[in-house]
Chains A and B, each alone.
Chain A
Amino acid sequence: MDHFPTNWGRPRNDMFDAYGTYPIHQRPDNRPKDTFADSVQRTQQPIVTGTSVLAIKFKDGIMMAADNLASYGSLARFKDVQRLHPVGRYTVIGAGGDMSDFQHIQHILEEVQIAESTQQDGHELGPVEIHEYMSQVMYARRSKLDPLWNSLLIGGFKDGKRFLSYVDLLGTTYSASTLATGFGAYIAQPLLRKAVEGHEDDLTAEQAQNILEYCMRVLFYRDARSLDKYQIATITAEGVNISGSLKLQTSWDFAENIRGYGAQTQ
């Protein structure tokens, strides 16, 4: 029973109380809701994404490759993005997946490095430590159901030892002499294994770069979210070197002969 006499006998709209039939304190609120009104939203989806990262061991260290594209769904949104990031003097981290999460990762790694370097104790973080740290971060975030939506390859060379390992948004880790994330895990990984497994200690830098270039080209032909602009990172005893943007030489002549692709009418 509504004890508010002015309401008696009036029509009522429960969505919008046009007649002011409710007492103020129980008037329905149907204003547009704030984005976060339904409690905090944690689980997300990747928005601006990078595709494959490739990495292999070779004679003198580790070589990695990633293209410069950051996609917004199927839109090639940013075509000058660096997805290989140096961490200190011995390590490179390459990322597929959400690029804003990757920028966040770059930031926390920067913080960690500053915290370490301000100790001035002569210790520096190597690839092993960076990978362990990132594994813990990624696993902790997935356990909060608030993952950093990335697949990361971490490659490095320190104290005469090569290191190459993977970690992703679930905190899953593994290492091998060839690694590939994203679409590259399907397309490039078999090619890389064939070319590298058993030859890790023989491959020269030039051969390693040729293998990666070949795989990047295959990926550009086959992966709709890839780009023919890419970079190569080399980590050896000499330190980290990340190339400038490289352009893939491709040929699309064959397309003429594919029905439904070229200019054929029938």
Chain B
Amino acid sequence: MSSFNPYTQNGGTILAIAGADFSVVAGDTRQSEGYNIQTRYAPKVFRLTDRAVLAVNGFAADGNMFVKKVKQRLEWYRHAHAKDMPLRSIARLIQTMLYSRRFFPYYVYNILGGIEEDGSGAVYSFDPVGSYERETCRAAGPAQSLLQPFLDNQIYFKNQQPAPGMSHPTHLPLQAVLALVIDSFTSATERHIEVGDGLEMYIILGKGRGLQGLEGVKGVQELTISEDGERIFVVRRELKKD
């Protein structure tokens, strides 16, 4: 008798890129199982605070439960300390929460994006049992193998030789990052059956930074709650549904 398998894979892909003073976290909205599209709109990216966004990918039921529990812990933190938890602390919290289930893991790849206390844009990526590191960019999910080499090339300038006397920039401007994100997802949609339907991009801007890079972007919706701090926006785009 085959035993019950408590896991499944629900497709979709997530991606985050950090700038000098901003961070972008994106994910598609398709949820699937095998060849079935379960729904065309199931968010995978969640606002945690005004300066932290979490993207989850893998087993959707675990993902939703995990986000629920992280949000709960952040609320308790607010009640205890009357402020939002800093990004690096959220990252460590996520590690301990994931590792606490080391022997019955949340089958979820997490990417946390936002602004650090020093004002820099940051991305943290996790494996299902809590190993994590801070990075400039990361893609996860079934289309990771399509996106990560592209990002390595475009953001870390891997396999690119700078012009004589020049050097590669360490951070890209917001406009360029948004273009890369959109291109990444349209490409992944073309080549991976589990990616598509819709794209949600969360953009977190550092304190006092202007909106440069967001002008002219269609359908920007602000989600910021508190004033005089980091600002957070979401942009939605359609992706091919086939």
C-alpha spacing A185/B65, complex, angstroms: 25
> Which stretch, B5-13, B115-123, B141-149, B213-221, touches the partner chain A?
B5-13
C-alpha spacing A44/B119, complex, angstroms: 53
| B44-99 interface (Cβ within 8 A of A) | 59-61, 64-65
B133 interface hit (Cβ, 8 Å): no
The residue among A147, A172, A176, A186 with the most chain B CB atoms within 10 A of its own CB is A172
C-alpha spacing A208/B15, complex, angstroms: 39
Q: Would A176 and B65 count as touching, CB distance under 8 A? A: no
Q: Would B1 and A176 count as touching, CB distance under 8 A? A: no
* Given A43-B4, A142-B6, A145-B4: A171 and B42 interface contact (C-beta under 8 Å): no
Q: Residue A139 contacts which of B4, B42, B65 (CB distance < 8 angstroms)?
A: B65
Q: Would B61 and A142 count as touching, CB distance under 8 A? A: yes
Q: Would A174 and B61 count as touching, CB distance under 8 A? A: no
Please encode chain B, from 1 to 27, with 1 for each CB lying within 8 Å of some chain A CB and 0 for all others.
101101110100000000000000000
Q: Would B42 and A45 count as touching, CB distance under 8 A? A: no
**11 residue pairs from A and B, CB less than 8 Å apart:** A44-B4, A139-B61, A142-B61, A166-B38, A170-B6, A170-B7, A170-B59, A170-B61, A173-B60, A176-B39, A176-B41
**B37 to A, closest residue via Cβ:** A189
* Given A173-B60, A176-B41: A143 and B1 interface contact (C-beta under 8 Å): no
- What class of interface size applies to chain A in its complex with B? 10 to 19
Residues of B within 8 A of A (CB): 1, 3-4, 6-8, 10, 31, 33, 36, 38-42, 59-61, 64-65, 104
C-alpha spacing A143/B59, complex, angstroms: 13
In the assembled complex, how far is the CB of residue A56 from the closest CB belonging to chain B, in whole angstroms?
Answer: 14
B40: chain A residues at CB < 8 Å are: 176
Q: Would B61 and A173 count as touching, CB distance under 8 A? A: yes
C-alpha spacing A44/B8, complex, angstroms: 18
C-alpha spacing A186/B36, complex, angstroms: 7
**B31 to A, closest residue via Cβ:** A174
* Given A142-B61, A185-B36, A189-B36: A174 and B42 interface contact (C-beta under 8 Å): yes
Residues of A within 8 A of B (CB): 43-45, 139, 142-143, 145, 147, 166, 170-176, 185-186, 189
C-alpha spacing A172/B63, complex, angstroms: 10
Q: Would B61 and A172 count as touching, CB distance under 8 A? A: yes
Q: Would B38 and A171 count as touching, CB distance under 8 A? A: no
* Given A43-B4, A44-B4, A147-B4: A173 and B36 interface contact (C-beta under 8 Å): no
C-alpha spacing A189/B33, complex, angstroms: 14
In the assembled complex, how far is the CB of residue B15 from the closest CB belonging to chain A, in whole angstroms?
Answer: 21
Q: Would B6 and A145 count as touching, CB distance under 8 A? A: yes
Q: Residue B39 contacts which of A43, A45, A145, A175 (CB distance < 8 angstroms)?
A: A175
Q: Give 9 nearest A-B pairs by CB, closest first.
A: A171-B61, A43-B4, A174-B39, A176-B39, A172-B61, A174-B38, A43-B3, A142-B6, A174-B42
A185: chain B residues at CB < 8 Å are: 36
C-alpha spacing A176/B198, complex, angstroms: 14
The residue among B8, B38, B41 with the most chain A CB atoms within 10 A of its own CB is B38
* Given A166-B38, A185-B36: A172 and B60 interface contact (C-beta under 8 Å): yes
A173: chain B residues at CB < 8 Å are: 60-61, 64
In the assembled complex, how far is the CB of residue A4 from the closest CB belonging to chain B, in whole angstroms?
Answer: 42
A175: chain B residues at CB < 8 Å are: 39
C-alpha spacing A25/B215, complex, angstroms: 86
B104: chain A residues at CB < 8 Å are: 143
**A143 to B, closest residue via Cβ:** B6
C-alpha spacing A173/B39, complex, angstroms: 10
C-alpha spacing A185/B40, complex, angstroms: 14
C-alpha spacing A172/B60, complex, angstroms: 6
A189: chain B residues at CB < 8 Å are: 36
C-alpha spacing A21/B3, complex, angstroms: 41
B7: chain A residues at CB < 8 Å are: 170
**B8 to A, closest residue via Cβ:** A170
17 additional A-B residue pairs with CB within 8 Å, beyond A43-B4, A170-B7 = A44-B4, A142-B4, A143-B6, A143-B104, A145-B4, A145-B6, A147-B4, A147-B6, A170-B8, A170-B59, A170-B61, A171-B61, A172-B8, A173-B61, A174-B31, A174-B39, A185-B36
